[in-house]
Each structure stands twice: as structure tokens, then as C-alpha cells.
Chain A
Amino acid sequence: MPQFFLNKRLIILLVSIIILVALIGFSLRDREQLTWPEQFLKDTTGFVQHILAKPTGYITGFFEDVKGLTNTYEENKELKKRLDELAQLEVDVQLLAKENAELREMLDKQDSLRNFKPIHATVIARNADRWEELLIINKGKTNGIEKNMAVVTANGLIGKIKSTQQFTSTVQLLSAMDPTNRISAEILRGDEESIYGTIEGYDEKRELLKLKRIPNDAKIEKGQKVVTSGMGGIFPAGLPIGEVVDVEPDEFGLNQTAYVKPGANLYDIRNVIVVEREMIQPGKNDDAGEEEEDR
């Protein structure tokens, strides 16, 4: 069929389908780093986004402030009440921190999974097609951000770093449907021992996180707090995630699944903190080990 091959449009169509499949396959691979053209494009647009995001932030911030003024009186009354409690709490925290430090010194155990270094960043853009929820923030490799670091707001964990460029990075939210998105978590039960599980997946209809692999006999109540356990190797321990809303036995009846309401609002995020764990990460000290072996 010579005519078939002479049809230029058809050939263009076929070639573009092949390119499409190849490119999608290439970009879906679990890549350690983006290619430099991608990084360059993201950084360049990040610069423009940064410039435009600031004034719009001020304008919308102004309107929100005006809206906030209307219920200032009520809020003030409530806050004053809290302030008295806060003073007491602050003293308690200081005393406890001091005691903790002393006890650690006695045990000769300096570093803890809880220690982390915060890096403050501002959201400059959001994924415009809203399929996968991604944020772009204005800090990158030059600020010490690396792949897989935890990202939190004042109210709790919101996601992790998906990729980094020199001056910007992309954050993947907890609500993303990514099977590799697993977080080792811990349910705090007051005086009793904590229960451990992993956060796997997000229930889109109920807008709740699924905390799976909880032992069948563990007693969990609504309202119990969930924090990261630090056992995953990348996140530090003790970052708040949210609280338990509902508990169900899983499909085989061997484990339980708890539904966790995220503490942070995943739809309204302006400022974030990227968390760098201070304790050595399991994957990272491999180089040091190899060096020693060489000798």
C-alpha cells in the first residue's frame, strides 16, 4: 500500500503516538533527578511565578484581613482565655525540655529521631490542571532541600518533596494517589503504649487518610492524635499528621484501618516548612561505609 505510507498526516500521527508513549514512560519512571532542561524550565518559570505570586498574595491577603476584622471581637475574647493557659504551658514545656536534656545527658544519648532543621518556604504555584495535587515552593537545592524530605505547615504534615531544582522544588501532597507514598505513623494513646501503622493512600470521597496495618487487638478511639514515628528513615519523629476519625477492620479481618483527618488544610496552603532530619538517614551513610571498606 504505497498510498498508505505516502499519507503524510497519518505518519505524523503514528510517530507522535510513539513519541507520546515513550515520553510518558520516561517521565513516569522513578527518577532520582530531573533532566537539566526540565530543571532549567522549572526554575525559569519559577522565577516569573515568584514575581507574580507576591503581589497577588498581598491583594488576597488584604481582603482576607478585612474579612477577618468582622469577627475580631469574638476571636479576641477566645484568645485572651487561651493566653492564660499558654503561660502555664510554656513554663511546663521549658521545664520538661530541660529535664529531657539532662536525662539524655545522663544516658549519654545526644541525638534523637525528633531533631530536625526547619527550612521555611513560600508556595509560588500549584499544579494548574489539578489532577495530581502538586505545589511549587521557592526554595531548592541551594537552600539544602533534597528529595523525599517532609513538608509541614503549622498544623501538621502535608506532604513530601517530589523533585528539586536549583531554586525551586515540587511538593507532592498527602492526598496524591501514589502507591510509593507511605509514611510510618504512630497513634498516641495517652499513658498507654503507642500503636504503630503506616499511612497508605487517601480516601478521596471522605477526604481522609488511611492508616493501615494496625494490629487487630489494638484499641483505638476517635480523637486520638496521629504523628510520624520516624521509623521510615526519612521523616523525623513527632510531626503531627492528624487525628483518628473512624476505625474499620480491613478487607481480610487481619488488621485494622484507621481513617485519619489531616490536621493541615490541604487546599489552602501559603507558607510551608521543609523538615530536614538531623539524625543520619539509613541510605545516606552508605558512602562512608564504602570508604572504610576500601582501606
Chain B
Amino acid sequence: MKKYLLLLLFLFLFVFESIFIEFLPLKMFGNEVILVPRFLMIAILFFTIFGDVRQGIIAGFIIGLLFDVVYTGVIGIYLVFFPLIAFLVSKVMKVLQTNVVILTFVSILAIALLEFAVYEMNSLIKITNMEFLMFLKKRLLPTMILNLILTVIIGYPLKRFFEKYKKEVMKD
């Protein structure tokens, strides 16, 4: 049962990420800043830590592929970075204490890493010509702040959901 719910959750977040940009009041901030919600990255990280590491990385791989095909059209970038960052965070969390507060901060750092990696890749293949300082000011910082707020809101429910999922899977 929980397995289907998990699929539905990821599918919903996948679509919701784009709806969030299209419809919610991000336009209020005008074109000064670029705010990017990273619900999927947050969910993958929470799933990796509170659910299962192996399944989390596989989820990152599949969602990354879907993200590339549907949204960006350049296959390969998220396909690699979603699972890679999930793997790195799982290693980091082995050293740190596993709780929501610490994982929230690690997630924000992971999202910053993701943004930076995708920025470098996109500059390399000339999808963007944004300067580095402009990227920091216009995109990275606002995105980190937005995602901090989002993680605080959805972090605890996600943790509960993934822990229940893990329990159910362990029983089988």
C-alpha cells in the first residue's frame, strides 16, 4: 500500500514543482531573483536518510531521468546529480546525528551544491551565459532561502511518511 503512495508522492511533487513556478506568487519578486523550488531533491534526500539508501539512490536516478526528459530536454544532468548528491548526503549523515533539523541544513547545502553543479554544466554546454557573481546573487542565495522555508514546512511530514514506509517494507 505504502509503495503506491510513495510513487504517487513523487509523481505529485514532480508535477507540483512546475505548477509552483507557474502559478504561485513567485512573480511578486519580479525578475530580480530566480527562485527555484527543489521539492524533488528534498524528498529524495529525506527518502535516502529516513527510508533506504539504496532505494533512495535508485529513486534519484529515475526521477532525474524523468526530469531531464520532461523539463530540460538535455538528458544526463539531473540523471547523474540527483543520485550522486543522494549518495554524498548518505555518507555525510553517517558522521552526523540523524534528525530532521540537521538533515534540513544538510539538504540546503546539498541543494546549493546541485544548483552550482547544474550551473557549471549549463555554462559548459552554453545554455546559459550568466556570470558567476550574478548567479550567486540572483539565483543561488534566493533559492537557498526559499528551499530552507520549504524544507521546514515539509520536512517533518516527509520524515514520518518515510519512516512508516521503512517499517512496512521491513515487515515484508
Interface set of A (CB-CB < 8 Å, partner B): 16, 19-24, 26-28, 37-38, 41-42, 45, 48-49, 52-53, 56-57, 59-60, 123, 125-132, 134, 136, 162-163, 170, 177, 204, 207, 267-268
Contacts and interface: CB of A to CB of B under 8 A. Distances in A.
A9 B8 CA distance: 32
Contacts of A38: 69
A131 B129 CA distance: 10
B67 to A, nearest CB: 7
Interface of B: 11-12, 14-19, 21-24, 27, 31, 34, 36-37, 66-80, 118, 121-122, 125-130
A203 to B, nearest CB: 11
Chain B interface main SS type:
helix
Contact of B15 (A16, A45, A59, A131): A45
Contacts of A16: 80
Contacts of B71: 125, 127-129, 134
Contact of B69 (A22, A42, A132): A42
Contact of A126 (B18, B74, B77, B78): B18
A26 B16 contact: no
15 contacts: A16-B80, A20-B76, A27-B68, A27-B73, A41-B70, A49-B15, A52-B12, A53-B19, A60-B23, A125-B71, A127-B72, A128-B18, A130-B21, A132-B122, A132-B127
A123 to B, nearest CB: 7
Contact of A24 (B16, B69, B125): B125
B74 A28 contact: yes
A170 B71 CA distance: 9
Contacts of B66: 41, 45
Contacts of B11: 48
Contacts of B72: 127, 129, 131-132, 134
Contacts of B126: 177
A49 B76 contact: no
A42 B14 CA distance: 12
A204 B131 CA distance: 11
B36 A130 contact: yes
B21 A126 contact: yes
Nearest to B115: A129
A20 B73 contact: no
Nearest to A24: B76
A109 B94 CA distance: 77
Contacts of B16: 52
